[in-house]
Structure 1
Amino acid sequence: MLPVPFRKSGNAVHLRVRAWRGRVGLGLVASLSVLAGMTDAIGFLATGDFISFMSGNTTRLAVAIGEGNLQSVVRLVGAVLAFVVGNALGIMIGRWGGQRALPLMLWIAGLLCAAALVPFDSRAPAMLAAIVAMGMLNAAVEQVNGLPVGLTYVTGALSRFGRGLGRWLLGERPSGWRVQLVPWTGMLSGAVIGALLEARFGIMALLFSAGFSVVLGLVSLKIPRRWQRDYMPRK
């Protein structure tokens, strides 16, 4: 049996590593949420359709069905399906890439470049490419120290924050509820940046999103591989 002081020292090191893994993970979540917010704002202002917010597109799809607007129904069904396909591809690329973020982020950057260089108003595939990219983004981080996080949607994060706030007001001490504001803050900040970029550069502003994706992929190389495997979806 190991001496007690050694066990305590080992526990302290484990707790410090866990804390740093959590901080790095939340920093990555915030950065990826900024990317999602940027891209969604640029796409929405350029096309009137959401690029990552499928709850909004689902509501708009229901309205289009009710109004009998077949053209909008086809477009929005395609958007939702593209997002689902993107999530599936993100899982596959993440696994094939050894559960590292760089290969995934490079694929995302490539799709965003394609979307920027092919005008949205003349080529529907360009819009679908951007939506697939945002679907793939969700595979980059699924959890941080066991806490679920979302990158391209924040309704769940706000719901988890609100429920945690309610428990805290009742005198309970739930863990992790405050960090749910990280993706919301990141997406809000990114959307503001995206709106400013779109006003200046139009749809070409997606090139900034692509460049940011590459930067995040390169930065992720500094993150220990074991930590990245913990962040990314597990088998």
Structure 2
Amino acid sequence: MLPVPLRRSGNPLHLRVRVWRGRVGLGLVASLSVLAGMTDAIGFLATGDFVSFMSGNTTRMAVAIGEGDMSMAIRLVFAVLAFIAGNALGVLLGRLSGRRALPLLLVIAGLLCTAALLPFDTRVPALLAAILAMGMLNAAVEQVNGLPVGLTYVTGALSRFGRGLGRWMLGERHSGWRVQLVPWTGMLLGAVMGALLEAHFGLKAMLFSAGFATVLGLLSLKIPRRWQRDYMPR
């Protein structure tokens, strides 16, 4: 049942659609966060570098510069640039495909397959392919019913949750802050799965990430196009 204040503010049918659009969107956010966490854990354990956690890579890059380890610093510079490029390409592909998730997720799956199948002695290209994919993933969902969400990083989500908790403790009853735990929980569960897969398959565990991205892309066909356009960057 919808809260009474919502019934008074608009058409009940419109509000029911909004509720379901939000639920489906959060389900998609959770699933994509699982994919991000899985891929990040596999990439980190297999190569020693983060695939989606650019705050960590930036700190490591700064430390490498301070210690004079220019080889690592240069590698991490390329990692950050690949993530930026992935975000840009994700927006471009999303626009060109009419803001549909399937083409984007299929390209992501292809990049993850490339990362998994490259020889291990070329792990830097594999790392960059996976980072490019994770950058693109952020274009799959940017907001749900006006609430900003992040898929491959959770610092912002935890910050928004903490600030919302503080306002709640002060007696303010704004909605939305609780859902910020959805991407954090998804990434946590995905990272656990990724760690288990990497222990058995090494970098080839990225094939599981690629398969999961493909499945999510096919499932996205069940989401109304109008909702997908609302989720993805404008």
Residues 150-179 of structure 1 show CA distances to partners (whole Å, capped at 9, x for unaligned) of 000000000000000000001111210000
Residue aligning to 2:188: 188
| 8 Å CA contact retained: 1:119, 1:203 | no
Q: Which residue of 2 aligns with 1:4?
A: none
8 Å contact from structure 2 (residues 47, 123) kept in 1: no
**Residue 93 of structure 2 is aligned to residue 93 of structure 1:** yes
Deviation, structure 1 residue 126: 1.4
Q: Normalising by structure 2, what TM-score?
A: 0.95
**C-alpha deviation, 1:123, in angstroms:** 4.1
Q: By how many angstroms is 1:120 displaced?
A: 4.3
Gaps of 5+ in 2: 1-6
CA distance in 2 between partners of 1:115 and 1:21 (Å): 34
2:229 aligns with: 229
- What RMSD, in angstroms, separates the aligned Cα atoms of the two structures? 1.4
Q: Distance in 1 between matches of 2:123 and 2:209?
A: 19
Unaligned runs of 5+ in 1: 1-6
Do the aligned partners of 1:52 and 1:152 also contact (CA within 8 Å) in 2? yes
The CA deviation string for residues 176-216 of structure 1, in whole angstroms up to 9 with x for no partner, is: 00000000000000000000000011111000000000000
CA contact (8 A) 2:29 2:141 kept: yes
**TM-score scaled by length of structure 1:** 0.95
Pairing of 1:44-55 with structure 2 (within 5 A): 44-55=44-55
Query: Deviating runs (4+, > 3 A) in structure 1?
Result: none
CA distance in 1, matches of 2:95, 2:21: 21
Query: Following the alignment from structure 1 to structure 2, what is the Cα–Cα distance between the partners of residues 123 and 149?
Result: 30
Number of aligned pairs?
Answer: 228
